[in-house]
Amino acid sequence: MTYPKELKEYPQLEEKTYPFRIFFNECRDARPEQNILFLHWHEHFEIIVMKKGRAIFHVDSMPYEAGPGDVILVPSGGLHVGYSMQRGDVSFASIVFHASLFKERTEDLQHEQFVAPYLDNRYQFPVKPSDHESSCSAYYTLLDSAISEVLQKGPAFQLVVKNQLHLFFTLLARSFPPQLSTGRVQNQRHSVNRERFKPLLEHLEHHFDEKITIESAARFVNLNPYHFCKMFKKLTGRTFIDYVNLYRMNEAERLLLETDYTVTEIAGKVGCDNPNYFTKLYKQYKGRTPSGARK
């Protein structure tokens, strides 16, 4: 699994006519609580299809456990992150697509009534649909079929995938009609939370090597330290200090694998003045020493 340096992602999709892509994620011999999907967001929809192992994904402040066969829906703009729940291999596919994939359907009144409200983010489907309506699991075969189409790349596979994704959203809209959905209220609450914290997360992304206290981070989002810690843990699944340390060690791992900097130099670049402490911290988060990572 590669580590994306930017918190906001701009996924490279198939092409402008068919703006979708399927990413295959695999973490071998993952440890419990190991970061398997780095915190990020993008202006695309993401459907996570769990293949192997068990994981917990935090989507806009809420945790969702997932095992083989489970599906997690990440709305456009939603902050999301994932952690392994057990030791062993963990794998999942991420189907990422932009709402413009269905732009030619704007003349279709049925589409505008049932599907468009979700594509426009006026409403949101439940993040884990089968927890709310067990019959939704029958629709997941469409996602498996889309994944197979991408792997096989047969004639017009892009068109097949496009139609399968639209049918998937249509069937979900049948189970969760926008006219009866509470998704508007949930969407507003989640949007406030994630938008409030995005500037802080972007600041940490560019200044992770600088010292920052809980108090100063709380002031950044106009919260007192107690409520800040509580909301931050809900949003990311980790405490603020733990998140900062993890971000630093992820960056350290990238530098170890992609550059020729010494371990001491890398320690300084990620805000650890003491190389011995850096080695201890790296081993705590990555399960091996920095020198072991390079070997």
Confidence of residue 238 (pLDDT cuts 50, 70, 90): confident
Q: Interhelix angle for 140-152 vs 157-175, to 10°?
A: 170
- Please give, one letter per residue, the 3-state secondary structure of 257-272: HHCCCCHHHHHHHCCC
For the chain, give me the number of helices (H) and strands (E)?
Answer: 12, 8
Q: Please give the pLDDT value at position 3.
A: 44
Q: Please give the pLDDT value at position 193.
A: 64
Residue 11 has pLDDT above 80, yes or no: no
Residue 7 has pLDDT above 70, yes or no: no
Q: Give all domains of the chain, ordered by start, each with its CATH number.
A: 20-183 (2.60.120.10), 208-294 (1.10.10.60)
3-class secondary structure, 65:
strand
What percent of the chain has a predicted confidence (pLDDT) above 70? 90
* Whether 124 contacts 183, CB under 8 Å: yes
Rounded to two decimals, the pTM is 0.79
Distance, in Å, from the CA atom of 231 to the CA atom of 256, rounded to the nearest integer, reads 32
- What's the whole-number average pLDDT of the chain? 88
Confidence of residue 178 (pLDDT cuts 50, 70, 90): confident
Using alpha carbons, select from 293, 241, 232, 239 the residue that is nearest to residue 266.
293
Distance, in Å, from the CA atom of 39 to the CA atom of 194, rounded to the nearest integer, reads 12
Distance, in Å, from the CA atom of 261 to the CA atom of 39, rounded to the nearest integer, reads 26
User: Which tens digits make up the pLDDT trace of 256-268?
Assistant: 989 999 999 999 9
Q: Please give the pLDDT value at position 185.
A: 44
Residue 195 has pLDDT above 70, yes or no: yes
Residue 22 has pLDDT above 90, yes or no: yes
